[in-house]
Structure 1
Amino acid sequence: MSSEAEGRFHIVDVSQITSRPLRDIVRTELRTEDGVRIEAVYEPSTASVSDASDTSGVTAAAGTSEAAGTTGASGTAVVVAHGFTGSVDRPALRRAAQVLRRHAHVVTFSFRGHGRSGGRSTVGDREVLDLSAAVRWARELGHARVVTVGFSMGGSVVLRHAALARGTGAHTDAVAAVSAPARWYYRGTPAMRRVHWVVTRRTGRVVGRYGLGTRIHHRDWDPVPLSPVEAVPLIAPTPLLIVHGDRDPYFPVDHPLMLADAAEAAGTPAELWLERGMGHAENAAGDELLDRLGTWLARS
């Protein structure tokens, strides 16, 4: 599904479609570098004025003459990357966004092939360009500090993005991967065998489109993108958080342990949270965990 090697990362040219103040909720459309239309939502923090009064990391919003601080904005925006078959309007993602808004401003978006976004899902490959577009939009809205959190497929995307976007205007200042795989083509659980059937079989892709609301590309990866465990050593010095449930039905705990070991071997500053009793991704992330995630993302 890739059109080129992973050796360099493209900077995405994102147009800001709205000029409404940062205190408003904004729903807009972004364009990725490869021309895919991506739906995105910006939601300001619900923290109190005193909690959100630190504006040292905020610059003037693109297309405005006001500093973001005049709208009560703090310096941090969290960009949230959903899992496979998710979208900005799915209840689990909406709940996660509302909890994270207690700590920072939040940008959610639908990956290509999901929700109202265009294109077809490449299941974690070119989705890096979708995330890059959302991160760049957050910076154009005036946030000098932008962090990312991803769930499942989105977790693999935020890891690769953190490695590949360093030194560009679409970089992240901290990254958290929740329920992310460590390696590609994993079929060791019944849940992942079902996912592979949906992605690789024509009948499965029909089920994906009409049953799961996800349009999946029929082409194989060519070349195979950088895997999450290969991306982790390239993330340093960006702070990294790995979160995984010990009852994840898709990826067992050897996946987060592989990611943590790769970070330790490379000297990447990383934390590992193994959550007792937790299942998979945003659907299984309780409010208490999301609240801790928000605290980590706002302060790391």
Structure 2
Amino acid sequence: MCTSNPNTKTNPPSLNLKRLLPRALFAFCAAWVILAAGLSAVYTRGLLHPACAPAGDPPAGFASVRLQTQDDVALQGWWAAPHNGAVILLLPGHGGSRASLLEEARFLSAAGYGVLSVDPRSCAGEKSTIGWREAQDLRAMRDYALAQPGVQWLGVLGFSAGGAAAILAAAEMPEIRAVIAEGNYANLAAEITFTPAFPLSMEWLIQRFTLLTYTLQTGVWPGRVSPIEALPRGCPRPVLLIHGQREIERSRGEQQAAAAPCAQLWVVPAAGHGEYAAAQPQLYRQTVLQFLAQARQTVDVPSP
């Protein structure tokens, strides 16, 4: 029978900290990156698949229309014929619908302009590209408006991502004679990474994963979605940039206006993103209508 010697001490196995520490550090870093990637995936999904605001019935004087894009996306919209030969195409912001610019549609129609306001492709179940493919969807709006009786002139008004799409589209479509862009970003990649973040921090990683995920899911690098670079190509067509005083640093409207000699900037005092008409209702309408009246007197834009 074996007996233990009470005088014998048993030492526990020693921990090899030199081996465990790198493994623990690697596990922590991997978990950090995986968490950032997961949060970015959730955030990017919200960007590319926003909820669509309900539109409801068309307002008085408007009719429901359905447009087909070149890639067979059906866009629902409202149409009011012009009384002055000019039509304004309305592009809502990210997550908006044709009803989002209802007040603009009403006062433009009351001033004699034709109005075509259309849901973005995200309302048709397609991915939002926050301005890139939405600019191409403007071709369907252009074609529809120009096919209507008495239409001789086209302008476009877009808010936020719709404003970015308006600028991008005008650079490629000479039929668009004037652009009003409200609260648009200058460059999508710069917008995604606008908030300063320490390298390798959670926010920094989420920003970089969002850039990558957007590229993989849309097929375009967000740095190419750049209204500030497209603005000079749209000249000499007049451009009115409208930004709120409380958003001007982020939206960089001053930089955008400086990028194109044909652009003018109106900074609405005390206004934030999308609050331009609410902050200055009479001046807002007066500024928009005056800009359009002057734009209609400019010389024709040569075809590219």
Alignment of 1:159-198 (within 5 A): 159-166=167-174, 171-185=175-189, 186=191, 187-188=193-194
Larger % of helix: which? 2
Find the counterpart in structure 2 of residue 79 from structure 1: 89
- What is the identity, as a one-letter code, of the residue corresponding to 2:92? H
- CA 1:176 to 1:36, structure 2 compared with 1: closer, same or farther past 3 Å? same
After TM superposition, the runs of 4+ consecutive aligned structure 1 residues lying more than 4 A away are none
Contact 1:260–1:272, Cα closer than 8 Å, also in 2: yes
Instruction: Supply the distance in 2 between the matched residues of 1:83 and 1:257 (Cα, whole angstroms).
Output: 20
Find the counterpart in structure 1 of residue 78 from structure 2: 41
Find the counterpart in structure 2 of residue 294 from structure 1: 289
Q: Do residues 285 (structure 1) and 285 (structure 2) align?
A: no
Q: Secondary structure at the match of 2:290?
A: helix
Q: Do residues 137 (structure 1) and 147 (structure 2) align?
A: no
Find the counterpart in structure 2 of residue 258 from structure 1: 255
Instruction: Supply the distance in 2 between the matched residues of 1:290 and 1:221 (Cα, whole angstroms).
Output: 38
Find the counterpart in structure 1 of residue 244 from structure 2: 245
- What is the identity, as a one-letter code, of the residue corresponding to 1:285? A
Q: Do residues 29 (structure 1) and 66 (structure 2) align?
A: yes
* Deviation, structure 1 residue 126: 0.6
The aligned length equals: 218
Give the % identical residues. Answer: 27
Over residues 7-29 of structure 1, what are the superposed CA-to-partner deviations in whole Å (9 max), with x where a residue is unaligned?
xxxxxxxxxxxxxxxx9522111
- CA 1:152 to 1:239, structure 2 compared with 1: closer, same or farther past 3 Å? same
* Deviation, structure 1 residue 284: 4.2
Structure with higher RCO (Cα < 8 A, 6+ apart): 1
Q: Give me the TM-score of the superposition, normalised by structure 2.
A: 0.64
Q: Secondary structure at the match of 1:164?
A: coil
Over residues 45-99 of structure 1, what are the superposed CA-to-partner deviations in whole Å (9 max), with x where a residue is unaligned?
6xxxxxxxxxxxxxxxxxxxxxxxxxxx211111111110100134xx1122112
Contact 1:37–1:118, Cα closer than 8 Å, also in 2: no
Instruction: Supply the distance in 1 between the matched residues of 2:273 and 2:139 (Cα, whole angstroms).
Output: 24
Q: Secondary structure at the match of 2:99?
A: coil
Unaligned residue ranges in structure 1 (runs of 5+): 1-22, 46-72, 202-215
- CA 1:231 to 1:239, structure 2 compared with 1: closer, same or farther past 3 Å? same
Find the counterpart in structure 2 of residue 235 from structure 1: 234
Instruction: Supply the distance in 1 between the matched residues of 2:251 and 2:75 (Cα, whole angstroms).
Output: 33
Instruction: Supply the distance in 1 between the matched residues of 2:97 and 2:293 (Cα, whole angstroms).
Output: 23
Contact 2:183–2:273, Cα closer than 8 Å, also in 1: yes
- CA 1:42 to 1:189, structure 2 compared with 1: closer, same or farther past 3 Å? farther
Contact 1:246–1:253, Cα closer than 8 Å, also in 2: no
Find the counterpart in structure 1 of residue 115 from structure 2: 106
- What is the identity, as a one-letter code, of the residue corresponding to 2:148? L
Instruction: Supply the distance in 2 between the matched residues of 1:254 and 1:111 (Cα, whole angstroms).
Output: 21
RMSD: 2.8
- CA 1:245 to 1:110, structure 2 compared with 1: closer, same or farther past 3 Å? same
Q: Give me the TM-score of the superposition, normalised by structure 1.
A: 0.65
Contact 1:79–1:107, Cα closer than 8 Å, also in 2: yes
Instruction: Supply the distance in 2 between the matched residues of 1:77 and 1:179 (Cα, whole angstroms).
Output: 22
Contact 1:84–1:154, Cα closer than 8 Å, also in 2: yes
Find the counterpart in structure 1 of residue 265 from structure 2: 272
Q: Do residues 222 (structure 1) and 226 (structure 2) align?
A: no
- What is the identity, as a one-letter code, of the residue corresponding to 2:260? A
Q: Do residues 96 (structure 1) and 123 (structure 2) align?
A: no
* Deviation, structure 1 residue 294: 2.8
Q: Secondary structure at the match of 1:121?
A: coil
Which structure's CA Rg is the greater one?
2
* Deviation, structure 1 residue 272: 1.1
* Deviation, structure 1 residue 148: 0.3
Over residues 212-250 of structure 1, what are the superposed CA-to-partner deviations in whole Å (9 max), with x where a residue is unaligned?
xxxx998144254341011011001111111111112xx
Q: Secondary structure at the match of 1:173?
A: strand
Instruction: Supply the distance in 2 between the matched residues of 1:241 and 1:137 (Cα, whole angstroms).
Output: 24
Contact 1:99–1:294, Cα closer than 8 Å, also in 2: no
- CA 1:217 to 1:102, structure 2 compared with 1: closer, same or farther past 3 Å? farther
- CA 1:260 to 1:284, structure 2 compared with 1: closer, same or farther past 3 Å? closer
Instruction: Supply the distance in 1 between the matched residues of 2:195 and 2:292 (Cα, whole angstroms).
Output: 31
- What is the identity, as a one-letter code, of the residue corresponding to 1:157? A
